[in-house]
Amino acid sequence: MATQHDGLLFFEPCFVPKIWGGRKLDREFGYSIPDGPVGECWAISAHPNGDCKVARGDFAGRTLSELWSDEPQLFGGTAGEAPAQDRFPLLIKILDVADYLSVQVHPDDDYAAAHENGSLGKSECWYIAEAEPDARVMIGQHAHNRDEFAQMVADKRWGELLHEIPIKKGDFFAIEPGTVHAVKGALILETQQSSDVTYRVYDFDRPQADGTLRELHMEQCLDVIDYDAPLKNSGEVTAPEVDGITKLMTCKYFEVARVRVRPDAPVTLAQDHPFMCASVIEGEGGTVTSAGSDACRAEKSELSRGSHFLALTGSGDLTLEGDMELIVSWVPES
Ligand code: ZN
What DSSP string describes 37-85?
-EEEEEEE-EETTEEPEE-SSTTTT-BHHHHHHH-GGGGTS-TTS--SS
Instruction: Say how many C-beta atoms besides its own lie within 10 A of residue 32's C-beta.
Output: 7
How many angstroms separate the alpha carbon of residue 264 from the centre of ligand 1? 37
Identify the active-site residue in 23, 27, 136, 200: 200
Distance 192 CA to ligand 1 centre (A): 9
**For the chain, what is the total number of helices (H) and then of strands (E)?**
7, 20
The answer to whether 17 and 39 have CB atoms below 8 angstroms apart is yes
**What are the backbone dihedrals phi and psi of residue 114, each rounded to the nearest 5 degrees, phi first?**
-75, -35
Q: State the pairing for strand pair 124-141/162-166.
A: antiparallel
Q: Which amino acid is at 326?
A: L
Residue 101 CA to ligand 1 center (angstroms) comes to 9
- What are the pLDDT tens digits along the chain (334 aa)? 446 778 999 999 999 999 999 999 999 999 999 999 999 999 999 999 999 999 999 999 999 999 999 999 999 998 888 888 889 999 999 999 999 999 999 999 999 999 999 999 999 999 999 999 999 999 999 999 999 999 999 999 999 999 999 999 999 999 999 999 999 999 999 999 999 999 999 999 988 889 999 999 999 999 999 999 999 999 999 999 999 999 999 999 999 999 999 999 999 999 999 999 999 999 999 999 988 777 666 678 999 999 999 999 999 999 999 999 999 999 998 7
**H helices within 45-157, ranges in order?**
64-70, 109-115, 146-154
> Could you tell me the distance, in angstroms and rounded to a whole number, from the CA of residue 171 to the centre of ligand 1?
16
Q: Is residue 120 left, alpha or beta, with left meaning phi > 0 and alpha meaning psi from -120 to 50? A: beta
Q: In angstroms, how far is the first alpha carbon of the chain from the final one?
A: 29
Centroid of ligand 1 to alpha carbon of 245 (angstroms): 26
Instruction: Give, in degrees to the nearest 5, the angle at Cα 263 between 258 and 264.
Output: 100
262 carries an active-site annotation: no
- Which letter does DSSP use for residue 303 in this model? E
**Residue 218 parent element (H or E):** helix 218-224
Beta carbons within 10 angstroms of residue 51's beta carbon:
16
Q: What is the pTM of this model?
A: 0.95
Secondary-structure percent of the chain, ordered helix, strand, coil, rounded to 5: 15, 40, 45
For the chain, the C-alpha Rg in angstroms (whole number) is 20
Distance 154 CA to ligand 1 centre (A): 22
* CA 124 to ligand 1 centroid distance, Å: 7
CA of 289 to the centre of ligand 1 (A): 33
3-class DSSP state for residue 26? helix
Q: 147 by DSSP, 3-state: which? A: helix
DSSP 210: T
pLDDT tens digits, one per residue of 251-306: 999 999 999 999 999 999 999 999 999 999 999 999 999 887 776 666 789 999 99
Give me ligand 1 centre to Cα 266, in Å: 34
8 burial type by CB count under 10 A (0-12 exposed, 13-18 middle, 19+ buried)? buried
Amino acid at 210: D
